[in-house]
A and B are shown apart, each in its own frame.
Chain A
Amino acid sequence: MMKILKAICGYTLAVLGVPLVLIGIMGPSYGLGELFISATGLTLSPWFDGGEVVQTIDHGTYQTHVHRMVFDALIGERKEGFVQVDWVPLDALPARVDEEIEADGDGQADFRVEVDTANKESTLTPYASWVLELEGTYKPEGSLMVRVRLRNPSR
């Protein structure tokens, strides 16, 4: 009896092979991908997307988005990380962006950043000892972005 049951299970699972492959391949085209992401609550690593925006400054024609400081590690925090600042939209930016940024939420400016919006030439003036250097200036689609390397002030 057990043998028959095992054989039935075996053949059933073998026949299920095709539907499993089809769901795996076609599922995401029918919204299963989005459903999976929202159900699991997965997000992109902040080391890639810069983390959540915690402060938005409106300059009228353009806006400054300051992201949270990223020190994320698998467990706890790292000694060093970065903060990302975006200016949008790119085509509304002045020729030179010059702004003081407050990154750690204490109300005091932590660094000043100047960026030539045409050639991405940038200068960083740290006000806090834990602001280390400019990591990079980028122009992803429709925005101007800088990442500033930081030492974790809480460590």
Chain B
Amino acid sequence: MTASTKTRTGSPPMAIWKALLLSLPMFLITALLPLQALESGELSYIVAILVMWLGFNVAFILMLTTGQTYRYRSVLFILLAVALPLWFIPMMIETHGSMMLSEEAFVSAEANFCPLATFMVIVPALVKRIVIFPSALAGGLGFATAAFMWAGSTLALGRGWCSWGCLFGGWDELFSRLRKRAVIKNIDRRWIYLPFGLLLAIVLLSAVTLSPIYCEWLCPFKIVTEFQAPTSLLAIIQIITFVVLFFALVVVLPLLTRRRIQCGLFCPFGALQSLLNKINIFEVRIDPEKCNQCKRCIRECPTFSLNEGSLESGNPLITCTKCARCIDICTKNAISFHIKGTSLQASPAVARVLYLYPGFVLLFFISSANVGAALHRIVKLITTGSMI
């Protein structure tokens, strides 16, 4: 190999005609959104949705033609996370006067249900048939909307949710990609058990107190969405905690380690997804015979989901978010998507396409409410001088 020749990594590329053909179902399914937007009659919204629809579908075709999943998924995933506050905060200002929720909003259950809160409501819902979150039960951004989205995507993708559907994981991913080299390289792998400990502790505490403890005390993403107005010392301490957690876990540590620290070492919802991943049909497999033990995948995995044992057993750890980073960087094509129950020699290309379909549909429709709405706000800002 000459110095100028780059080793091709990732899944095998696909001929353009084949990629277009395989993209057709995605084109048609996602076209539901621009068709729905046309009914609104609002030009800025229609333009925003059309731009988004085209952009996302081009990214999907590129995933197929280049064989690179992580690169394009990551761009869309980051876009989703960054877009959320761009429309959510102006919406909060329109409806509540600021991104801070007053006590009135809490006692009249006007908060928006966050999918990440799902794990805290399960025990009280089963034991007492109550939802311990101050939001509407159904409709809009209510409990049932989030619960359905979570259930459908968990069945379809398992912990793949954390790389395709999470509204916030893109922040972590963004900051973990900004630096070329990690400053902190040696992180004790035992930290990957922290999210499971947090999951257990928060589920129990939320059940005992009948309040969403994670949302009240530990969610780093409160500062990019909504939080309680600082009307008491307790509320001020909560807000300071949110700010510290966001900058520490989502900005600084991902920057220094090039890893998704919040997602890999903190998020209790991610831990729940890891446990539920067993019911999902897609997995990442490593072919020990093809693997040359370069261990690049171990060093680069954003969520610490690979170790030496994984290379020998052929299975990543249960914390794997199926982000495809390892698949894209493997020079030996030793890592691929796989469908449980099928032969290990079965076509990885078929498994990849079948995995990309639900992943892309989830990312597109979740983004439709976020990227589309954010683009709409930006168009509004350009045309009227205000996002409100």
**Count of chain A residues with Cβ under 8 Å from any Cβ of B?**
49
**Chain B residues, Cβ within 8 Å of A138:** 103-104, 107-108
The answer to whether the Cβ of A45 comes within 8 Å of any Cβ in the partner chain is yes
Q: Is the interface of B mostly helix, strand, loop or mixed?
A: helix
Interface residues of A in 1-42 (CB under 8 A from B): 3, 6-7, 9-11, 13-18, 20-28, 32-34, 36-37, 40-42
The answer to whether the Cβ of B217 comes within 8 Å of any Cβ in the partner chain is no
Instruction: Please indicate which of the listed interface residues B128, B130, B133, B210 has the most CB atoms of chain A within 10 Å of its own CB.
Output: B130
Interface residues of B in 144-190 (CB under 8 A from A): 144-145, 147-153, 155-157
**Chain A residues, Cβ within 8 Å of B29:** 18, 22
CB atoms of B341 and A37 under 8 A apart: no
Among A6, A21, A33, A45, which residue has its beta carbon within 8 angstroms of that of B138?
A: A33
The answer to whether the Cβ of A62 comes within 8 Å of any Cβ in the partner chain is no
* Stretch in B192-200, B220-228, B303-311, B360-368 touching the partner: B360-368
Query: Given A22-B361, A74-B208, do A44 and B137 touch, yes or no (CB 8 Å)?
Result: yes
Among B130, B152, B340, which residue has its beta carbon within 8 angstroms of that of A10?
A: B340
CB atoms of B144 and A7 under 8 A apart: no
25 pairs from A and B in contact (CB 8 Å cutoff): A6-B341, A7-B342, A9-B341, A14-B281, A17-B281, A17-B282, A18-B361, A24-B149, A25-B366, A28-B139, A28-B148, A33-B148, A34-B138, A40-B129, A41-B129, A42-B130, A43-B130, A43-B137, A44-B134, A44-B137, A45-B124, A45-B131, A48-B106, A72-B130, A74-B127
The answer to whether the Cβ of B233 comes within 8 Å of any Cβ in the partner chain is no
CB atoms of A7 and B343 under 8 A apart: yes
Q: Is the interface of A mostly helix, strand, loop or mixed?
A: helix
Interface residues of A in 41-84 (CB under 8 A from B): 41-50, 72-75, 84
CB atoms of A7 and B361 under 8 A apart: no
Among B103, B123, B208, B210, which residue has its beta carbon within 8 angstroms of that of A136?
A: B103
Query: Given A34-B144, A48-B107, do A21 and B128 touch, yes or no (CB 8 Å)?
Result: no
Interface residues of B in 287-334 (CB under 8 A from A): none
CB atoms of A42 and B125 under 8 A apart: yes
Query: Given A10-B341, A74-B127, do A17 and B107 touch, yes or no (CB 8 Å)?
Result: no
**Chain A residues, Cβ within 8 Å of B207:** 74
The residue in chain B whose Cβ has the minimal distance to the Cβ of A136 is: B103
**Chain B residues, Cβ within 8 Å of A25:** 148-149, 152, 362, 365-366
Q: What is the CA–CA distance of A139 and B143 in the complex, to the nearest angstrom?
A: 24
**Chain B residues, Cβ within 8 Å of A106:** none
**Chain B residues, Cβ within 8 Å of A17:** 156-157, 281-282, 354-355, 357-358
* Stretch in A93-101, A111-119, A124-132, A140-148 touching the partner: A140-148
Question: How far does the Cβ of A83 sit from chain B's closest Cβ, in whole Å?
Answer: 13
Question: How far does the Cβ of A42 sit from chain B's closest Cβ, in whole Å?
Answer: 6
The answer to whether the Cβ of B211 comes within 8 Å of any Cβ in the partner chain is yes
CB atoms of A24 and B151 under 8 A apart: yes
